[in-house]
Structure 1
Amino acid sequence: MTPSGVFVFARDPESSEQVWSAMVGYPGDPRYREFYRDIGFDREMEYIKDYIDPSGVRVNTGIKYHRITSKSLDASQKDYYDIDVAMEAVEEHARDFLHKKEKQVKRLVDVMGVEPVIVAPFDAELFGHWWFEGVFFLKRFFELVNESRTLKLVTASEVIDTLEEVQIVTPADSSWGAGGYYETWLNGTNDWIYRHLHEMVERMVELARKYYDSSDPLTERVLNQMLRELFLAQSSDWAFIMTTRTSVEYAENRTKLHIKRFFDLYDQLTSGNINKKVLEYYEWVDAIFPEINFRVMARDVV
């Protein structure tokens, strides 16, 4: 527990590597579905045109025909996906993870002399999104744990309720990234993005304060869309992908795209020459955060 009374649980790096690691983790198995192949981009325009925007802009549909096959292969060389084979991998991996956690518990009991708590938090988007079969893995693992005599699933609150005494600690700055700090998001592969992000924040704050009391709907739409583009450009996924080298061109292009759209809108607003068609397109293609309000950027940060 921290001096301010907040309970802290240390993340188990062993569990993280087994499930999350791009190199040795379960999601990288060749039998699992390939995230970066989608018929929205793979299929010929004549086939896909009725399922994407009438303008012809290609989008992800969620329908993916291919499996990972091999990390060393180009995306165009991937084999077709077989869900039955993928479910065999799910069964193998759920059992393997259970076996490894049971061994880990027994090892920790021998060393510590008390029942250990293994904390294994993950991004929710891993299961079902990046790792399509991840939800099936979780389901099967939970079923197997229910039969285990060694493991038990509990919440953090349930653990706290059993404690008679706690250690007072002050955690160091850290992250779930490689090395436990921020190297994944700030290194030679991605450091170029931050000067742009900092400038975008400065200009967003400047305009949010200038137009805070504005009642012009068009001005508000431009500023709200600028904030969307800023948030999208700030997505940690882009810097992460640049570091892991999994789909670098895509991550770089997405970053540059949102930066470009932001400054395009900035120039339109400050020049008084707003292109409604361009704005409408940006609002359509980047429609995240429907209730966004640019005025939050006008507040002083303490």
Structure 2
Amino acid sequence: MIGRIVASISGQYSISDGENIFSAVPRGIFRKDNQRLMVGDLVEFNKEMNTIEKILPRKNELKRPRIANIDQLLIVSSIDKPLFSFELVLKYLTFANFNHIHSEIIITKTDIASENEIIAKITDVFEKIGVKTHFISNKTGEGIEEIKKIFNGKVSALMGQSGVGKSSFLNMVDPLFDRGVGQYSEALGRGKHKTREVILLPFGGGFIADTPGFSSLELEMTKEELGQYFPGIENLYTGCAYSNCIHISEINCKVKEALNLGILPKVVYDCYIKMSNEALTFYRR
């Protein structure tokens, strides 16, 4: 039989065939060949022997969070507690682009926004760089019905720092998920981890992956790669005069031209410059 791994705990894997959940363990050949199973893997399994026989080819895989075969990555961030960060969200979006995975943004806790200006600015910035943004109130649930539609028939993964409200959001999507909700730590300025494992939850003919939150993400890419995959810049860099343009001091740079014309938001360019200064300097072979 063929199924999808939906959870993994201590070497035991839960596999869905679309109707039922089976428990199985990998055959010894996986350890011998150093093959590591991931949540999201499509596998051949023997339900009589309760063994996983083979991993089918993956269309994609992520190391953090560890998950395979996803259709879209949904970047979850909050207006406050923790405070919204353009830099962090842009970093997540770059990560998705680098892995060739469609991404959208979900902004939670709009009910605690101190002013509407930040919501308007977020909307304007991401609209200009072509990234779809959804807003939801954790208090009233406003916006949740529209967001539910984006999950239909797809394998989606939620990604975001601890405390932004991923588990609360999932419980609004479907109360039967009953995901544990962490608290926000005022002293540390970040959320407390509640989700400790990657798990696929069935919804709308597909799956939604709840993933552990984290406070930082390192982009292991060169300056040139950053320019190719950074949102808002990825569609401009091919028009630059130099193929290795990194959009800082070069002449005839389409990115700086877009910035000067107001097409590229300054906050996006500023975040790009900061990440470019931190990017790897080697060239990939």
Question: Same-fold call, TM > 0.5?
Answer: no
Higher strand share: 2
Please give the TM-score of this superposition, normalised by the length of structure 1.
0.26
Please give the TM-score of this superposition, normalised by the length of structure 2.
0.27
